[in-house]
Amino acid sequence: MGDEAAGKPPVVILREETNVTSGTAVQEKLIAAARVFADLLRPTYGPRGLDKMLYKTDGTTAVTNDGAKIVAELMVKHPAAKMFVAMAESQENSCGDGVTGTLLLSSELLLEAGRLLQKGLHPLTVIEGYNQANAIAQDTISKQAVACTATTLQEVALTSLTGKGAEGAAPTLSEMIVRALETVDGDPDSITMHKTNTGSLSDSKLLNGIVVRRRVLLDSLPSNIDDAKVATINGDIAPRKQIRDAEIEIEETAQLDAFLAAEEATRDTLTETLIASGANVFLCSGTVDKGLLHRLMRSGCFVAGEFDDRELRNASLATGSRIIEHLADISSEDIGQAGRMVAERRAATDQVEDMIRLESCPEPKVVTCEVGGANSLAAEEAIRAIHDALRSTGLAMRTDRLVDGGGAVHMACALSIREAAEHEAGRNRLAMEAFARALEIIPTTLALNAGTDALDRILELRAAHRNGQSGAGITADGKVGPTGAKEAAACLESAINSATETCASMLRIDQVVSARGD
């Protein structure tokens, strides 16, 4: 048999250019990706974090220290790095904040795991120890969580805004954020953003209504209507069109006049129906018939068209109107209310500059944060910061659970895990201790970015927690003490859980097969 097999060619399953990586080299690849992400994001973390300038392939630039924005703009090729990107997206979608902390923790967990694997621990042993430590951390966070108050909610917003471009106007913005969330029952998706491109960030304000960029159809339309009665229409404001094609043979001029008079009568009837509903502001998603536009204008009504579905829905929710599908069915019950409608006409450019505002709505389900700032890049960064603050503060408001920030809870979790590891007899203990060390990367990074000695601060922080100072963390100037920072407990729970799951998924990989050969 040996002689017969010797002359046969080897069986080829993979292409020649395929590269297969096995053994410790796999872990080295994963750890290299983790280290790159950690080094990239570490300088942006905390109140002393710096910004990154992103220069994109289309020539546009963005200046930000928002971890979600940085990760989203990176053109990631490495498969392990793509897992980090997916984790960042998951954290952003579920909590709206804490992306940078999640990525730093996951990277540190993987680096610690690499050291344990070099000592001979099996990957599944490390995973099992990490899962045990994660359960202890979740329990510790639950024990430390406290209920929200109006003051602490504002501290959550301040914490989220600190260290970002909007920090200079943080007191004004945090107050606006809490008022906006209280108006819409803690739902951040019911809050829209609008850049005014004027003034400064401190001039930002909350509008109980909406702002829409749409061209004003006629200069003769009213610019200001107090006590506006708003109708929202999904479709055209125009007479009903014939579905079938038809040819009409006209033999006399009188017949043509009668035909045109019938069309005008239809417009008159439709105008009377619309005005009889009591509305004086008509917003639609389609086009507006010129004849109806002039008739409504002469009756003192304002008309705007070509709203997209989201804008029309927001107008309906802000004013309390019911979206109408058929003009003939409109009634007074379908009409919403706004304290004031303002149409601002601006000089024509290549973009739509006219603005339609619905203000002072009595019971809005959608509100607008008007963000000031003449610098467009700064305003965009402020909007990103406000968006994160809205999501994290809204999460805290809905769950009614808060914990201390500044690395205080991370240190408390690390100490709890170390105490539990003392009672563990197996090799899992090493993984649990590694998990505790990884959690300390958060206060370590805060101390490093504040320009202080990280080792000294970590030792001080451990001692402070051992002595019963459970709220102690790393302050903005790099000292150990009460930070005043607050964050949603659910956000921190999600961050630690996501980091653990991502690290566990990567540790299960024992071979990388690349069809491209890289």
Res 383: pLDDT? 84
Asked if residue 274 and residue 134 are part of one domain, the reply reads: no
Indicate the residue among 330, 363, 396 that finishes a domain.
363
| CB 314 within 8 Å of CB 323 | no
Contact partners, residue 513, CB within 8 Å, separation at least 6: 14, 18, 19, 20, 21
| CB 233 within 8 Å of CB 270 | no
> Tens digits of per-residue pLDDT, 453-508?
989 999 999 999 999 888 888 988 888 888 888 888 888 999 999 999 988 888 88
Shortest CA distance to 323 belongs to which of 338, 309, 342, 306? Answer: 309
| Residue 127 within a domain | yes
CATH number of the domain within which 328 lies: 3.50.7.10
| Residue 2 within a domain | no
Alpha helices per DSSP H over 64-122: 67-73, 79-94, 99-118
> For the chain, which residues score pLDDT lower than 70?
1-25, 165, 240-263, 347-352, 374, 511-518
Task: Count CB neighbours of 127 within 10 A.
Answer: 20
| Residue 105 within a domain | yes
Asked if residue 336 and residue 217 are part of one domain, the reply reads: yes
| CB 410 within 8 Å of CB 439 | yes
Mean pLDDT of the chain: 83
| CB 360 within 8 Å of CB 209 | yes
Asked if residue 409 and residue 345 are part of one domain, the reply reads: no
CA distance 478 to 52: 22
Record the tokens describing residue 135, joined without a space: 């359960």
| Residue 85 within a domain | yes
| Residue 59 within a domain | yes
Asked if residue 433 and residue 348 are part of one domain, the reply reads: no
Ranges of beta strands (E only) in 242-285 are 281-284
Shortest CA distance to 329 belongs to which of 412, 235, 443? Answer: 235
Asked if residue 338 and residue 283 are part of one domain, the reply reads: yes
Res 261: pLDDT? 63
> Tens digits of per-residue pLDDT, 4-32?
555 555 655 656 656 666 666 677 777 88
What is the helix, strand, coil percentage profile of the chain, to 5?
50, 15, 35
Asked if residue 217 and residue 349 are part of one domain, the reply reads: yes
Indicate the residue among 308, 339, 363 that finishes a domain.
363
Contact partners, residue 373, CB within 8 Å, separation at least 6: 195, 196, 197, 199, 200, 201, 379, 382
Contacts 24+ apart (CB under 8 A), 458-462: 461/407, 461/411, 462/411, 462/415
Shortest CA distance to 377 belongs to which of 19, 33, 61? Answer: 61
**DSSP codes joined into one string, 31-56:** HHHHHHHHHHHGGG-STTPPPEEEE-
Asked if residue 430 and residue 343 are part of one domain, the reply reads: no
If one counts the domains in the chain, the total is 2
Where does residue 128 rank: exposed (0-12), middle (13-18), buried (19+ CB within 10 A)? middle
Record the tokens describing residue 182, joined without a space: 């209280």
With H, G, I as helix, E, B as strand and everything else as coil, classify residue 240: coil
| Residue 393 within a domain | no
Contact partners, residue 506, CB within 8 Å, separation at least 6: 30, 80, 83, 110
Record the tokens describing residue 392, joined without a space: 């994290």
Amino acid at 105: L
Indicate the residue among 340, 363, 386 that finishes a domain.
363
Asked if residue 333 and residue 228 are part of one domain, the reply reads: yes
Contact partners, residue 490, CB within 8 Å, separation at least 6: 95, 395, 396, 399, 401
> Tens digits of per-residue pLDDT, 435-445?
999 999 999 99
Res 1: pLDDT? 46
Ranges of beta strands (E only) in 269-332 are 281-284, 302-304
Res 259: pLDDT? 57
Q: Which domain holds residue 412?
A: 19-146+404-514
Shortest CA distance to 281 belongs to which of 220, 331, 229, 224? Answer: 229
Three-state SS string across 140-157, please?
HHHHHCECCCHHHHHHHH
Contact partners, residue 102, CB within 8 Å, separation at least 6: 67, 87, 88, 91, 494, 495, 498, 499
Record the tokens describing residue 484, joined without a space: 């005043």
Where does residue 466 rank: exposed (0-12), middle (13-18), buried (19+ CB within 10 A)? exposed
| Residue 394 within a domain | no
| CB 84 within 8 Å of CB 103 | yes
Element (H, E) at 419: helix 408-421
| Residue 183 within a domain | no
Asked if residue 218 and residue 322 are part of one domain, the reply reads: yes
> How much is the CA Rg of the chain, to the nearest whole Å?
31
Asked if residue 426 and residue 286 are part of one domain, the reply reads: no
Res 458: pLDDT? 92
CATH number of the domain within which 66 lies: 1.10.560.10
Res 131: pLDDT? 94
CA distance 79 to 100: 19
Shortest CA distance to 148 belongs to which of 181, 193, 108, 111? Answer: 181
Res 319: pLDDT? 92
| CB 127 within 8 Å of CB 507 | yes
Asked if residue 411 and residue 350 are part of one domain, the reply reads: no
Amino acid at 343: A
Asked if residue 347 and residue 214 are part of one domain, the reply reads: yes
| CB 363 within 8 Å of CB 320 | yes
